[in-house]
Amino acid sequence: MPTTPGPAEPIEPTTPRGRRERPAKPALTRVGIVATAVALTRSEGLERVTMRRLAKELDTGPASLYVYVANTAALHAAVLDELLGEIDLRPARTGGDWRERLVRILSSYTTVLFRNPALARSALVTRPSGPHYLELLEAVLALLAEGGVPDDRAAWGVDALLQFGTATAAEQSARDAAPHAQDEHDALTAAVRNASPQAFPRLTALGTELFTGTGEDRLTWGFHVLINGLSKTARPDRTATT
């Protein structure tokens, strides 16, 4: 029995939609650009975060990004500042020994860099200026003031403290990435332990002790050395006569 034909199916257009018919791209903002750069850093590493790579991710041209970010160095500084938001600054607002609380903040800073090896190396030369970095500086300076460290020493000391944490993270990340790091460490250990007591009396006497301690213990100890030194070491007086 014949059936009555139904309505014809609509035919999908085979021609591509014009530019005006495509969904509008989200407007570029500095916040969005930095957020995308942070995501790329986590997934591909900071080395891959270039203006060209970021522009591709955002479906735009590199020139459009320069309106919001001056250059790649400024972009990396912004990424660093964003990741510094992971630092635990709560010890600055709690009670207890100010030195221990300061070490906890500095250790948290170093840990953030440990988690992002390329960022640790970049932080040696990158100077972030965003809100998270300023919050870190404020927390460190506030604890130094609480401990009675004179202002002029604290002003120089904050740089020394952060530099120690940054250098430690950068050095360790570079060693972890080196293919022969363990072989080099073993060679150094053997050289020290087999050194001549006559030629190197102090080296051989401390040969075993040189390699003791965990990385965390050494980091914490180093921070305490610097903090205690700030309390006792005056800045050089350039006006004094010699």
Each residue's pLDDT tens digit, 128-158? 889 999 999 999 999 999 999 999 999 999 9
- pTM reported for the whole predicted model: 0.81
Domain hosting 52: range is 26-83
Measured in degrees and rounded to the nearest 5, phi and psi for residue 61 equal -95, 150
Tokens in use for 136? 């870190």
Could you tell me if residue 44 is inside a domain? yes
**Residue 216: predicted pLDDT:** 93
- 95 and 78, same structural domain? no
Measured CA to CA, the distance from residue 24 to residue 35 in angstroms comes to: 20
Could you tell me if residue 7 is inside a domain? no
Burial class (CB in 10 A: 0-12, 13-18, 19+), 95: exposed
Number of domain units in the chain:
2
- 153 and 62, same structural domain? no
Q: With 50 as the cut, is the pLDDT of residue 242 above it?
A: no
Q: With 50 as the cut, is the pLDDT of residue 231 above it?
A: yes
Range in 15-24, 45-54, 190-199 the model is least confident about: 15-24
More confident residue, 44 or 240: 44
What average pLDDT does this structure show over 193-217?
93
Q: What separation in angstroms does the CA of 225 have from each of 157, 161, 188? A: 12, 10, 26
CB 91 within 8 A of CB 107: no
- CATH number of the domain where residue 45 is located: 1.10.10.60
Write out pLDDT tens, residues 14-24: 555 554 555 56
**Residue 6: predicted pLDDT:** 53
What average pLDDT does this structure show over 51-58?
94
**Residue 205: predicted pLDDT:** 93
